[in-house]
Every structure is written in structure tokens, then in C-alpha cells.
């Protein structure tokens, strides 16, 4: 089966790459072979850390520029050509800042919280199929793994809010946790729609089943998956606390939510996690509904898959930024209304209708 | 010791170490957060037993569901920071009887039960269980599966009924 070949070929390729480098350096025989698997895993983690960091660097700049132009101003202009070095300067500033831990915080939990929040946003990246060749681990329960790992962020956020010993932080954490837990339901249900259309839980398997042009993408598979895509996209915005659902860190009400007491490098980790999540939900939406690395027309398959993947993902990221600066923030009760009375019932209808469609029409 | 053993030991230490922290910690929030690492370690051990589906479900249900509920319970408790939990041992005899009884019960179930061992797919590097679990749920265990789903649906509707606003 194609999928299993992909799995063996690409996981091993990643390990082989590390082994090749080790042999080249003349270090291969100094450690038992299994160690190179562990080292390959560490290299993979560092690689995705690098991807998230570079993405955040670019996305923050784009976000500031887009927001500027949406509001009829220019955005950053001073540092470099059209302010292109602005985020780099900000990053250097963040790294040089004093590491402040307020006296009244619960020290252990305060230090641990950003690590957990960032790790959950990093860990989902290992199963994403970036192209037909590049997947770090082709798990056969890929999408279930993504859903599972992203639930760990809730205790992390509560940990940050509680350990800060600050009422804004605690309110922000409670709101954030309530929001993420609620929106996990429409997210999970809309993912089920795509999984039912694919008949597979593996991320690469789902992409492989959408081959042969955009009419085979699961968003156009049947009317119910079409609706499910929009349910997923809206609910995932709420899950990563983006506008119009950024109630957990509403600046005018809660200072900065659960991150209020954080500064310097620890705050930078929360920020990186936020941008990592933005990228991750776009990748999930692209993989499940928009064909992943598949080209929209069979005639365009000469263009490499990763380029299609990159274009689709970055387009969804741009839509997220665009919506942030176009829509006003919702109230807490409106947020819960949308989740429980609009998105969840529609998602159930999508599962039911999608299932019927699979049985009766296909 | 191979690298495999080291990764296994890593998960075992996480599971048992944080389980000990849950029991002996004097702060209830620390105990609740330590439980997260313990549950996560158990999920890691499931992966070592080739039970990948179970590992993912363990994280979704225990960390994403039960632990979050527990944390909300802890955070909504009044004057939580002033409570110190006593961790000394009382009722040793009854505790020993209850503990041993539970251990024997679980052990009997483990030995007696007719465990379903999934068939290994030739050519695959590890067991792929999710398909076999799904097929069994839809054939052999359909009735328990449906009963559980109806029970959960009733709980969901009940929860919504309880929190609905009264002024309408």
C-alpha cells in the first residue's frame, strides 16, 4: 500500500540523514544505532522549532503591515526597508530583556507553564505531511494524535494563570480554558466529517485520497463537508484565541490574559506557541479539506507539492490576519452561543448528512 | 542498556515520580498538575505496548477532559491557597485491606479476561490497531458501544438542561 511505503521511506530517510551526517563527521561508531533514532527525534524537534520561529518572524511583520493597511496607515516603516527588520529587532530586544519572575508567583509552575504550552504547539508538527516526500512520522492515527496533543494546552494555560497569582491572569486562564474546551467539540466533529470522507486517520493517507484535481478535495466531496470546512475554520480560530474570539486576552478588559505576569523570553515562548498554533490549524484545515500538497489541477502537478502546500497554508494564515483586523471582538456569552447553539448542532448535522451521503450516493 | 530502555525508563520515572508527587504534595494545585504528568507518562507506556490508539484516547479523555474538570474544581474552591493537605497515613489496617483487595481484583481480571490481541499486519513496523478496534466496536461490541453513546448523550442533554437560563 502506498501509505505504508511512504511511512517507511520517509521516517527512515530522516534518520538516514542524521546517520549520514554522523558518518561524515566520523562519529557514527561511537554510539549504538538506536541512539541515532533518539538524536534524529531531537533534530526533528529543533527543525520545527526553527520553522515556527521563522514563521513567527515573518507572520508578525505581515500582521503588523496588514493591520496597518486595513486601518489606512503604513505600519512599521523605520527599521530597514519598509520596516522589514522590525520583528528581528523586537526579537533581539526580547532575548536581551531581564528575566523577571515576580516574588509572589508559584515559582515551579510559573517556569513550567510556557514550556508545556509551547511543547504542545511544537509536538503536533511531526505528523503533518508537508509534501509527498516530507513527513517526519507517518502515524496511522495522525489526526487523532493532533487532537490529543492539542488538548494538553488547556492545563498549561490554567497553570500559567494560576501560578501568576494575579486576578487578570486567572480570569484570562479560566476564560481561555472554557473557550478551548468548548470549541474542541465543533473542531472534533468537523474533523470527523473529513475523516469519514477519507476513511483514514493518517494525515498522509487523507491527502493521498484527495488526489486528481480540486474537485476531489474533501471540501467539495459533498455539501456537508463543505459546511464542515467552515465550521472547522471558525472553531479553530477560537481554539487558538484569534480574533474575533480573542476574549482570553482582551487587552481592554484583562490586560493580557494569562500572560500578564510574563515577560522576556518566557513571554516569547507563549507568543511563539500562539503563532505556531496559527500555522498548525491552517495546516490541519489544508490537509483535511483543501487537498494538502495536491495540485488543484492534474496539469499543474509539475509544480512541487510543498509549494502548493505552502501557498494554501499561508493563504489561510492571511485570512486569519485579515479577519482579526476586520471583525470586532465577541462577548463571552455570544462566544458560547456560537459554539453550543450554532457550530455544534450544524457539525452534528454534517456528520449525519455526510454519513448518509457516503452510504447512499457513493 | 539500549536507547529503547532509556526512553522506557524516562516514561516510567515520569509516571511513578509524578504519581508519588500527587500523593505526597502538600499543595492541592501541585498535586493536580502532577497528575497531568502521570497521565501523560501512562500514555507513553501505552505507546511502548503498541497501543497507539489507546495512548491518544488516554490523553484526550484523561488530560483534556477529566484533569481539566478537576482543575476547574480546584480553582473554583474558595480559599484554596490557605488549605494545607495532611499527607500522613491514618487507618492503616483498613487501607491495607482495601488496597490489597483492589489489587487482587484487578490482577484476577487481568489474568482471567479473554484479551483481544490484534493481528499483526505483515510488513508493518508496528501494530495498527485502530481499524481492528473500529471493526470490533461496530460488530461484536455494538450493543455496549451504543449503550455508552446513549448514556453520554443523556449526560450531555442533562448538563445543557441544568445550565440553561431560567428567565426564558
Chain A: nearest CA to B26, how far in angstroms? 13
Interface test with B, best of A140, A147, A200, A344 (most B CBs within 10 A): A140
Contact residues, chain B, for A151 at CB < 8 Å? 59-60, 63-65
> For all residues of chain A together, what is the average pLDDT?
81
Contact residues, chain B, for A140 at CB < 8 Å? 52, 128, 130
State pLDDT tens for residues A51-105. Answer: 888 888 888 888 888 888 888 888 777 777 887 788 888 888 888 887 777 777 7
ipTM of the complex in this document: 0.78
Name which of A42, A51, A46 is nearest A276 in CA terms.
A51
Contact residues, chain A, for B149 at CB < 8 Å? none
Between chains, do B68 and A154 touch, taking CB under 8 Å as contact? Answer: yes
Where residue A26 falls (left for φ over 0; alpha for ψ -120 to 50; beta otherwise) is left
Alpha-carbon span A42 to A15, nearest angstrom = 11
Alpha-carbon span A115 to B10, nearest angstrom = 18
State pLDDT tens for residues A123-133. Answer: 888 888 887 77
Query: Cβ atoms within 10 A of the Cβ of A26, count?
Result: 8
Q: Is B37 within 8 Å of chain A by CB? A: no
Question: Which residues on chain A place their C-beta less than 8 Å from a C-beta of chain B?
Answer: 4, 7-8, 32, 34-35, 37-38, 106, 108-109, 112, 139-141, 144-145, 147-149, 151-152, 154-155, 158-159, 162, 170, 174, 177, 181, 184, 201, 340
DSSP track, A88-138: HHHHHHHHHS-----TTS-HHHHHHHHHHHHHHHHHGGGG---SSS--S--
Q: Which residue has the higher pLDDT, A285 or A325?
A: A285
Chain A nearest-CA residue for B66: A155
Alpha-carbon span B71 to A301, nearest angstrom = 50
**Binning pLDDT at 50, 70 and 90, where does residue A306 land?**
confident
CATH classification code of B1-87: 1.20.120.1200
Between chains, do B71 and A155 touch, taking CB under 8 Å as contact? Answer: yes
Provide Rg for chain B, Cα atoms.
21
CB contacts < 8 A, A to B, total: 79
How distant, in Å, are the alpha carbons of A9, A156, B14, B34, B38 from that of A270?
35, 11, 24, 21, 24
Q: Please report the pLDDT score of residue A18 as a whole number.
A: 72
Alpha-carbon span A249 to A324, nearest angstrom = 13
State pLDDT tens for residues A119-174. Answer: 888 888 888 888 777 777 777 788 888 988 888 888 888 888 888 878 788 888 88
**Binning pLDDT at 50, 70 and 90, where does residue A45 land?**
confident
Which grid coordinates belong to A217?
478535495
- H or E segment to which residue A265 belongs: helix A264-289
Between chains, do B53 and A151 touch, taking CB under 8 Å as contact? Answer: no
- H or E segment to which residue B48 belongs: helix B28-48
Q: For residue A30, tell me if it sits in a domain.
A: no
Number of domains within chain A: 1
Alpha-carbon span A185 to A344, nearest angstrom = 7
DSSP track, A314-347: HHHHHHHHHHHTTSPPPPHHHHHHIIIIIIHHHH
Between chains, do A152 and B36 touch, taking CB under 8 Å as contact? Answer: yes
Alpha-carbon span A305 to B121, nearest angstrom = 30
Q: Within chain B, which residue ranges are assigned CATH 1.20.120.1200?
A: 1-87
Q: Which among B6, B68, B128 has CB closest to A177?
A: B68
Contact residues, chain A, for B2 at CB < 8 Å? 32, 34
Q: Which among B30, B59, B75 has CB closest to A174?
A: B75
Query: Cβ atoms within 10 A of the Cβ of B159, count?
Result: 10
Between chains, do B56 and A145 touch, taking CB under 8 Å as contact? Answer: yes
List the domain range (segments joined by +) for residue A221: 98-360
Q: Which among B65, B67, B130 has CB closest to A201?
A: B130
Name which of A282, A273, A281 is nearest A121 in CA terms.
A273
Contact residues, chain A, for B75 at CB < 8 Å? 158, 162, 170, 174
DSSP track, B59-113: IIIIIIIIIHHHHHHHHHSTTGGG---------HHHHHHHHHHHHHHHHHHHHHS
* Neighbouring residues of A344: CB distance < 8 A, sequence distance ≥ 6: A185, A186, A189
Which grid coordinates belong to A351?
456528520
Name which of A216, A196, A212, A180 is nearest A290 in CA terms.
A216
Interface test with B, best of A18, A36, A155 (most B CBs within 10 A): A155
Between chains, do A159 and B33 touch, taking CB under 8 Å as contact? Answer: yes
State pLDDT tens for residues A173-205. Answer: 888 888 888 888 899 889 988 888 888 788 888
Alpha-carbon span A242 to A249, nearest angstrom = 10
Sites in chain B below the pLDDT cut of 70: 1-4, 78-88, 116-128, 166-168
* Neighbouring residues of A324: CB distance < 8 A, sequence distance ≥ 6: A63, A67, A242, A243, A244, A246
Chain B: nearest CA to A341, how far in angstroms? 11
Alpha-carbon span A22 to B24, nearest angstrom = 45
Name which of A149, A147, A165, A148 is nearest A116 in CA terms.
A149
Q: Please report the pLDDT score of residue A11 as a whole number.
A: 54
Q: Name the percent of chain A lying above pLDDT 90.
A: 2
Interface test with B, best of A148, A186, A239, A258 (most B CBs within 10 A): A148
Q: Please report the pLDDT score of residue A6 as a whole number.
A: 46
Alpha-carbon span A142 to A146, nearest angstrom = 6
Q: Is B75 within 8 Å of chain A by CB? A: yes
Which residues 43-62 of B have a C-beta within 8 angstroms of A? Answer: 52-53, 55-57, 59-60
Query: Cβ atoms within 10 A of the Cβ of A350, count?
Result: 28
Amino acid at each position: 500500500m502506498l501509505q505504508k511505503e511512504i511511512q517507511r521511506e520517509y521516517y527512515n530517510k530522516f534518520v538516514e540523514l542524521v546517520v549520514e551526517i554522523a558518518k561524515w563527521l566520523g562519529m557514527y561508531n561511537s554510539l549504538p544505532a538506536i541512539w541515532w533514532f533518539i538524536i534524529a527525534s531531537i533534530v526533528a524537534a529543533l527543525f520545527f522549532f526553527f520553522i515556527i520561529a521563522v514563521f513567527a518572524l515573518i507572520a508578525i511583520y505581515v500582521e503588523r503591515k496588514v493591520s496597518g493597511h486595513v486601518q489606512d496607515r503604513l505600519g512599521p516603516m523605520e527599521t530597514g526597508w519598509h520596516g522589514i527588520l522590525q520583528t528581528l529587532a523586537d526579537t533581539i530586544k526580547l532575548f536581551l530583556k531581564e528575566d523577571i519572575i515576580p516574588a509572589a508567583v508559584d515559582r515551579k509552575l510559573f517556569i513550567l507553564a510556557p514550556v508545556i504550552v509551547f511543547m504542545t504547539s511544537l509536538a503536533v508538527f511531526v505528523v503533518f505531511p508537508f509534501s509527498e516526500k516530507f513527513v517526519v512520522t507517518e502515524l496511522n492515527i495522525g489526526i487523532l494524535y493532533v487532537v490529543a496533543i492539542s488538548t494538553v494546552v488547556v492545563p498549561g494555560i490554567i497553570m500559567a494563570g494560576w501560578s501568576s497569582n494575579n486576578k487578570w491572569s486567572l480570569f484570562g486562564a479560566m476564560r481561555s480554558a472554557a473557550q478551548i474546551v468548548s470549541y474542541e467539540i465543533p473542531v472534533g466533529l468537523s474533523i470527523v466529517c473529513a475523516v469519514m470522507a477519507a476513511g483514514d486517520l493518517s494525515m498522509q493517507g487523507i491527502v493521498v485520497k484527495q488526489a486528481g484535481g480540486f474537485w476531489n478535495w474533501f471540501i467539495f466531496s459533498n455539501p456537508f463537508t463543505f459546511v464542515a470546512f467552515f465550521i472547522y475554520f471558525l472553531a479553530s480560530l477560537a481554539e487558538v484565541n484569534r480574533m474575533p474570539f480573542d476574549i482570553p486576552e482582551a487587552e481592554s478588559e484583562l490586560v493580557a490574559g494569562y500572560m500578564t505576569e510574563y515577560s522576556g523570553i518566557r513571554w516569547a515562548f507563549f507568543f511563539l506557541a500562539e503563532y505556531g498554533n496559527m500555522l498548525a490549524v491552517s495546516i490541519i484545515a489544508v490537509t483535511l479539506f483543501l487537498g494538502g500538497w495536491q495540485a488543484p489541477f492534474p496539469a499543474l502537478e509539475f509544480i512541487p507539492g510543498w509549494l502548493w502546500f505552502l501557498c494554501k497554508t499561508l493563504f489561510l494564515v492571511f485570512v486569519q490576519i485579515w479577519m482579526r483586523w476586520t471583525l470586532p471582538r465577541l462577548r463571552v456569552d455570544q462566544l458560547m452561543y456560537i459554539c453550543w447553539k450554532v457550530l455544534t448542532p450544524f457539525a452534528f448535522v454534517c456528520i449525519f448528512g455526510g454519513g448518509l451521503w457516503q452510504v447512499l450516493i457513493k | 542498556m539500549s536507547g529503547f530502555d532509556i526512553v522506557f525508563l524516562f516514561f516510567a520515572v515520569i509516571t511513578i515520580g509524578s504519581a508519588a508527587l500527587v500523593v505526597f504534595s502538600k499543595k492541592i494545585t501541585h498535586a493536580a498538575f502532577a497528575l497531568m504528568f502521570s497521565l501523560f507518562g501512562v500514555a507513553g507506556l501505552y505507546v511502548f505496548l503498541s497501543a497507539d490508539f489507546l495512548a491518544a484516547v488516554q490523553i484526550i479523555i484523561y488530560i483534556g477532559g477529566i484533569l481539566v474538570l478537576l482543575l476547574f474544581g480546584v480553582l473554583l474552591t474558595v480559599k484554596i491557597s490557605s488549605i494545607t493537605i495532611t499527607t500522613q497515613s491514618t487507618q492503616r489496617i483498613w487501607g491495607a485491606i482495601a488496597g490489597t483487595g483492589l489489587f487482587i481484583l484487578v490482577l484476577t481480571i487481568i489474568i482471567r479476561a479473554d484479551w483481544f490481541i490484534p493481528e499483526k499486519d505483515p510488513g508493518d513496523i508496528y501494530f495498527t490497531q485502530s481499524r481492528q478496534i473500529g471493526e470490533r466496536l461496530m460488530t461484536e461490541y455494538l450493543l455496549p458501544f451504543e449503550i455508552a453513546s446513549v448514556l453520554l448523550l443523556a449526560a450531555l442533554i442533562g448538563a445543557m438542561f441544568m445550565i440553561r437560563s431560567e428567565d426564558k
